[in-house]
Amino acid sequence: MSINLFEPYKIGRLELKNRFVRSATWDATADSSGAVTEKSVALYRELGQGGVGLIVSGYAFVSPLGQAAFGQYGAHTDDMIPGLRRLVQAAHQGGAKIALQIVHAGISSDYLYRQGITPLAVSSTPQSNRPHRQMTEEDIETIIADFAAAARRGVEAGFDAVQLHGAHGYLMSQFISPLTNFRNDRWGGSPENRRRFHLEVIQKVRQVIGAHFPLLIKFGVQDDREGGLPLSEGIKTAGLMVARGIDAIEVSAGIGSSAQAIKEGDPERAYFRERAAAVKQAVTVPVIVVGGIRSLAMAQSMVDNGDADLISMCRPFIRQPDLIARWQRGETKAAACISCNKCFPIVRRGEPLECGEERRQREEASHRA
């Protein structure tokens, strides 16, 4: 029997109007302090009206040394709360729920390098040609407290959930991966020690936000480089995170990536489908799958097959913020996004987030006129 993806769905006590999630997307609209701007509010208002059940915010740094990129949202001081509250209000106006994603970049911060600031690393890494400093025990405890404080600010700003960013090579990935964690203390070495940071962050955050406030994680369940985090260890960690208080897991990449760009004209490829299915077999909370999903048929297939409970997308909503509303109206044409990644070079130039392919077509038409 086919599951209706447009019916309400619950993550813990959080009821969503459907099973579609807008995955966290860096939009570079925050000001130099990390505060929300009018461009940010307009973007989230449009997303909220587009039919998606849950919006996950662009990643917000938990401390200044955790900032990954320019234009990134901050959740590092109480001064950020009024602006973050405006994002919540904008999303809610269209009937969407919204989660605040919080992150520490660790060594993976282009922003800090460009500012001439030495980032903190899980371990001293001789093969890295960038300056960095290995974290002390005190640094680690401070960062755990920073995650908790950022989560508290999300609650105070009115977000419906908080999501930890535990993927894509940022600090949580760096702790759990044998590729980047060479510590010989209680934070490294064995799988139990390498996953300790995840479990301590979850426990501290849960203490601050309470027993029932929805807490999610975007989790790189497997690395895609030789010698990296194996899937079996990622799945074991997923179960332990649920026991510690995680309410839903969005399955994504760790260090390295198997997510090759979908070429124009090629069929879509849900590149984390098998990993999501493996996680779903091991946990009792909802599993969210992201990556390469472009059609309602693919989304329906994964949910009906029991591979995931919710469907998450990022780039399709850059080009079509109202994609889910279109699908719900019966316009079942696949997303126009071709995963060309031309949207992100635009953002890196400091320009507003938009579909690069649409921009190219518009500029060509203007030249022909």
Active-site positions? 170
Q: Which among 176, 173, 196, 177 is positioned nearest to 186, based on CA atoms?
A: 196
Phi-psi region of 139 (alpha: psi -120 to 50; beta: other; left: phi over 0): alpha
CB 57 within 8 A of CB 99: yes
Torsion of CA 142, 143, 147, 148, to 10 degrees: -20
Q: Please name the residues in contact with 129: beta carbons below 8 A apart, sequence gap of 6 or more.
A: none
CA distances from 153 to 52, 80, 102, 123, 205 (A): 24, 8, 10, 29, 11
Identify the CA nearest to 63 among candidates 137, 128, 157, 139.
Answer: 139
Give the separation between CA 270 and CA 290, rounded to whole angstroms.
8
Q: How far apart are CA 133 and CA 130, in angstroms?
A: 10
- Tell me, what amino acid is at 348? R
Task: Answer yes or no: are the C-beta atoms of 347 and 27 closer than 8 Å.
Answer: yes
Closest CA to 283 of 318, 323, 345, 234: 234
| Residue written as token pair 């619950």 | 10
Residues for the chain: how many in total?
Answer: 369
Task: Give residue 238's region: left, alpha or beta (phi > 0; psi -120 to 50).
Answer: alpha
CA pair distance 255, 2, nearest whole angstrom: 35
Contact 289, 273 (CB under 8 A): yes
d(CA 217, CA 196): 15
